[in-house]
């Protein structure tokens, strides 16, 4: 631990002209007295650290001294590519590794380029969670992240519908979507931890007949996760040994996480849109539609209607829009106001007609206002 701290101190001093004891203490998360002892240890080891006295004093390296301890380890190199997502790194437990990687890169740069990292950080920032939502880090996220990095099999408990299931997973990758963490994993057939009452022995847990394959799981629904083979029993074995015996799995080289996620996300969106409504849209309503309903469904509806004949003589376009349900469509399409007319189904049209009558009554001139106007 102390050796790693001494190396980090040298890299910090190499990447900046000088640093005060307070600055080093904050970076290294130690006291200023510990900083003084570490500087003395570096000096005794031959590292030319010089202490400037006075109010503006601090520590610096003499004569352009440069350490060669800037080679990135594998975990540091991998974490470096995630440095643009600092909140995700913290939640996965990789903040320290990424910090060390950035520091090594900074130390290897020419002096005039060492402000590049801070310059970029002041110009670009990613805020992943959606508005009006305080994200909570799932308790088991670091365990899953470790397994993803290490290709390690996990035995997990997962809340699915109204029951808990036990599965053995091969976690391939993590996805952060709108502040919610998901894991893409390949799983063996599940076995129920709490089978429904009256289920026959040996019956499938829920009759879905699901075959083993890649699936997506919400991380916050895991109630337990641990390596299938405990860490103390892991043994990598000689080259060519069966990785299963070491508690690890062999990754499918054809698996592409971004492509897999895009496909599953599209499938999920389509699975939600089970019903259809017919809507006439003004030119402004056409532009507004993607903002009040599912954007991809809105674009597809407009493209189909345009190809089928386009707007009528008044410029209005009739589209058939996929929606989650009539109830959801009612809440969404109210946002169009007078720029959209619901044509079908009849029950939904009547709801909009009733809403329009109520709105007209709300905005009708009052008798008192009418008298004033006369």
pLDDT digit string, tens, across residues 254-313: 889 989 998 888 888 778 888 999 999 999 999 999 999 988 899 999 999 999 999 999
Write down the pLDDT at residue 306: 94
CA distance 26 to 19: 11
Judged against a pLDDT cut of 50, whether residue 207 lies above it is answered with no
Question: Is residue 136 over pLDDT 50?
Answer: yes
The pLDDT value given to residue 231:
64
Please give the residue that has the higher pLDDT: either 253 or 97. 253
Residues 16-38 have pLDDT tens digits of: 778 888 888 888 888 988 988 88
- Output the pLDDT for position 245: 57
Tens digit of each residue's pLDDT (9 = 90 or more) over 76-130: 544 444 455 555 666 666 667 666 666 666 666 556 555 655 555 566 666 666 6
- Say how far apart CA 61 and CA 48 lie, in whole Å: 6
Q: What is the pLDDT of residues 299-330, one digit of tens each?
A: 999 999 999 999 999 999 999 999 999 999 99
- The phi, psi pair for 319, rounded to 5°, reads -120, 150
Q: Would you call 5 exposed, middle or buried from its count of C-beta atoms within 10 A (0-12, 13-18, 19+)?
A: middle
Classify 365 as helix, strand or coil. Answer: coil
Between strands 222-227 and 58-61, the pairing is unpaired
Q: With 0.85 as the threshold, say if the pTM is over it.
A: no
Residue 210 has a pLDDT of 38
Q: DSSP letter for 311, please.
A: -
Segment among 195-199, 220-224, 346-350 with least mean pLDDT: 195-199
pLDDT mean across residues, the chain: 78
Based on C-alpha coordinates, what's the Rg of the chain? 30
pLDDT, mean of residues 29-51: 85
CA separation for the pair 82, 19 (Å, rounded): 27
On whether the CB atoms of residues 103 and 11 are closer than 8 A, the answer is yes
Q: Above 90 in pLDDT, residue 155?
A: yes
């Amino acid at each position: 631990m102390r050796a790693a701290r001494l190396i980090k101190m040298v890299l910090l001093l190499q990447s900046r002209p000088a640093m005060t004891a307070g600055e080093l203490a904050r970076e290294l998360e130690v006291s200023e007295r510990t900083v003084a002892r570490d500087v003395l240890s570096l000096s005794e080891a031959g590292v030319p650290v010089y202490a400037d006295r006075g109010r503006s004093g601090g520590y610096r390296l003499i004569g352009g001294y440069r350490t060669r301890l800037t080679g990135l380890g594998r975990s540091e190199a991998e974490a470096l590519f995630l440095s643009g997502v600092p909140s995700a790194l913290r939640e996965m437990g990789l903040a320290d590794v990424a910090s060390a990687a950035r520091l090594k890169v900074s130390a290897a740069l020419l002096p005039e380029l060492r402000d590049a990292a801070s310059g970029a950080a002041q110009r670009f920032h990613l805020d992943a969670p959606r508005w009006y939502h305080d994200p909570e880090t799932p308790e088991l996220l670091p365990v899953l992240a470790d397994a993803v990095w290490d290709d390690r099999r996990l035995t997990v408990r997962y809340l699915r519908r109204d029951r808990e299931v036990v599965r053995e997973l091969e976690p391939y990758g993590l996805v952060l979507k709108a502040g919610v963490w998901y894991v893409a994993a390949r799983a063996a057939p599940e076995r129920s931890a709490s089978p429904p009452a009256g289920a026959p022995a040996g019956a499938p847990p829920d009759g879905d007949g699901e075959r083993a394959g890649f699936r997506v799981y919400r991380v916050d629904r895991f109630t337990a996760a641990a390596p299938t083979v405990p860490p103390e029993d892991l043994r990598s074995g000689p080259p060519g040994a069966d990785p299963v015996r070491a508690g690890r799995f062999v990754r499918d080289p054809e698996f592409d996480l971004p492509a897999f996620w895009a496909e599953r996300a599209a499938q999920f969106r389509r699975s939600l849109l089970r019903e259809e409504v017919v809507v006439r849209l003004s030119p402004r309503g056409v532009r507004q539609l993607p903002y009040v309903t599912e954007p991809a469904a809105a674009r597809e509806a407009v493209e189909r209607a345009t190809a089928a004949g386009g707007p009528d003589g008044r410029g209005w376009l009739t589209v058939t829009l996929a929606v989650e349900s009539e109830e959801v469509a009612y809440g969404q399409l109210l946002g169009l106001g007078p720029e959209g007319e619901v044509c079908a189904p009849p029950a939904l049209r009547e709801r909009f007609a009733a809403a329009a009558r109520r709105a007209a009554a709300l905005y009708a001139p009052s008798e008192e206002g009418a008298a004033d106007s006369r």
